[in-house]
Amino acid sequence: MSHSFGLVIESLVAVLLLVTIGYCTLLNRRLKRLKADEHSMRAMIAELITATEIAERAIGGLKVTVRECDENLGAQLAAGTTLSAKLAKQVTAGETILNRLTQIALAARPAGADVEAPAATVAAEQAAPAQNPSAQNMSNAKALLAAAQAFSERRRATGLAA
């Protein structure tokens, strides 16, 4: 019995040894796969680092571009504001001159023209709502131009023009 007991123990150790060898083989395969995955992960991490560096450089370039655009737009805005102020002054001066010319034209009308003018003005005012504002301004400007030319011709005819 001691002989068969030893044989059973020896057989059990041999089976356990075979199971251990099989398990070690399985672990070896898994470790090889893990090593291969590690190499691919290292390659992926290197690519990610490279992509991050490229993105950082691109962001730096974009910041410089935004700064340049901001400076350029600021300069253009300042120039536009200055030009707008100049135009506003010129428009005001033009309106002043237009008012003076209107006063001169009204003062230079003969007495008979004053009677006809209100009737024409009333008819023009009644027709004005049907027109758009730019057409009304254009007709007022043409009327003013005609009045100024007539005034100038009368002054030249009487010898009072400069």
pLDDT digits (tens, 9 = 90+) for 95-111: 899 888 888 888 877 65
Number of structural domains found in the chain? 2
CA 69 to mean position of chain CA atoms: 11
105 or 88, which is more confident? 88
Q: What is the pLDDT of residues 1-48, one digit of tens each?
A: 678 888 999 999 999 999 999 999 999 999 999 998 988 899 999 999
111 or 69, which is more confident? 69
Tokens 């003013």: give the residue.
144
Segment 139-154 shows an average pLDDT of 79
Q: How many CB atoms lie within 10 A of CB 94?
A: 10
DSSP alpha helices (H): ranges in 109-129? 111-127
What is the span of the domain harbouring residue 73?
1-93
Is the Cβ–Cβ distance between 151 and 108 less than 8 Å? yes
Residue ending a domain, among 35, 60, 93, is: 93
Specify if 99 maps to a domain: no
Residue 83 and residue 6 share a domain = yes
Mean model confidence pLDDT for the chain = 82
Residue 142 and residue 66 share a domain = no
Specify if 117 maps to a domain: yes
Q: How many CA atoms lie within 13 A of 81 on its CB side?
A: 6
* In the predicted structure, residue 129 carries a pLDDT above the cut 50: no
Residue 65 and residue 4 share a domain = yes
Specify if 83 maps to a domain: yes
Residue 71 and residue 12 share a domain = yes
Segment 150-156 shows an average pLDDT of 76
Specify if 98 maps to a domain: no
Residue ending a domain, among 93, 117, 150, is: 93
Residue 122 and residue 80 share a domain = no
Specify if 157 maps to a domain: yes
Q: How many CB atoms lie within 10 A of CB 31?
A: 10
Is the Cβ–Cβ distance between 101 and 144 less than 8 Å? yes
Q: Is the pTM of this model over 0.85?
A: no
Is the Cβ–Cβ distance between 147 and 100 less than 8 Å? no
Specify if 81 maps to a domain: yes
Residue 148 and residue 76 share a domain = no
User: Please, what's the b/e burial string for 10-26 (b: 16 or more CB within 10 A of its CB; e: otherwise)?
Assistant: eeeeeeeeeeeeeeeee
